[in-house]
Amino acid sequence: MFGFGDKPQTQGDLIKDSSEATFMADVVEASQTVPVIVDFWAPWCGPCKTLGPALETAVKAAGGKVKMVKVNVDENQRIAAQLRIQSIPTVYAFWQGQPVDGFQGALPASELKTFIERVSALAGDGGLADAIEAAEQMLAEGAATDAAETFAAILGEEPNNGAAYAGLIRSHLALGQIDQAQGLADAASPEIAKTKEFDAARAQIELARQAANAGPETELRVAVEANPNDHQARFDLAQALHASGKVDEAVDELLELFRRDREWNDGAARTQLLTIFDALKPQDPIVLKGRRRLSSMIFA
């Protein structure tokens, strides 16, 4: 589906060193299409000297289905702190911008192979990609009922297909059936609940509930202009903007709130930003730009 076999990849494409300056591009952005395994190591770490080469061998053997990035924690302490690296070696697998798997310590080659296979499978299409694509097209064109029927038929063939299950949830949301969508989310199997698509659908449910209770945009904008430090008004304005389809403006307001007081209301601005990002496609320009700006503030 992602064309891993379209052209040979060199070791430079598959395995590279990263830093605080390039981590977003090397890992977060690169993992939108190919899973990226990140090896956190240090020159003084004995087990790292065993794990690193073994992991590189396993990544090369995967034939381009995964990439590997090496991060020296001594030289990149802010990244290690942000990801709460407690000991090394630690290995995280990133898929579509998020850590989704990992382990600590050195593993035997057989377990590394199993780990790589598990991570590689994240980019698989489940054999029903064409049907899912057709249902997504129906949903995009406003034929939510037809989309729901198609997603349901796919689930009849593959009950734990996360993309189809999430599509069914989003179809109910498109029909204004928030409670039915919530019911499906609550009934999701553990396998489905682990998928990125399900996370996106669940985020969309939360945003749909917020939209139903959004305040008046004009009045909230006036309140923020009158008092830029009225954090609640700015947060409410962001919700109202999102409810009216002005997603980029909502993200701007939340980033400004985070810049002014990142700890306000238990980090509500960051939480809301992540909910919005989760609800959108990982490659959406709003997501890529917003995550980059948020990251630059966090690491500033």
Which residue is catalytic, options 15, 36, 45, 279?
45
- Does residue 89 have a cis peptide bond before it, meaning omega lies within 30 degrees of 0? yes
The answer to whether residue 45 is catalytic is yes
Phi and psi angles of residue 128, each rounded to the nearest 5 degrees, phi first: -125, 30
The answer to whether residue 84 is catalytic is no
Detail the DSSP E strand segments found in the chain: 15-17, 36-41, 67-72, 90-95, 98-104
Which residue is catalytic, options 24, 36, 48, 163?
48
Asked if residue 249 lies in contact with residue 290, where contact means CB atoms within 8 angstroms, the answer is no
Contacts 24+ apart (CB under 8 A), 167-173: 167/132, 167/135, 167/136, 167/139, 167/197, 167/201, 169/198, 169/201, 169/202, 169/204, 169/205, 170/139, 170/201, 170/204, 171/139, 171/144, 171/145, 171/147, 172/148, 173/201, 173/204, 173/205, 173/208
Half-sphere exposure (Cβ direction) of 125: Cα atoms closer than 13 Å? 11
Give the type of residue at 27: V
So which residues are the catalytic ones?
45, 48
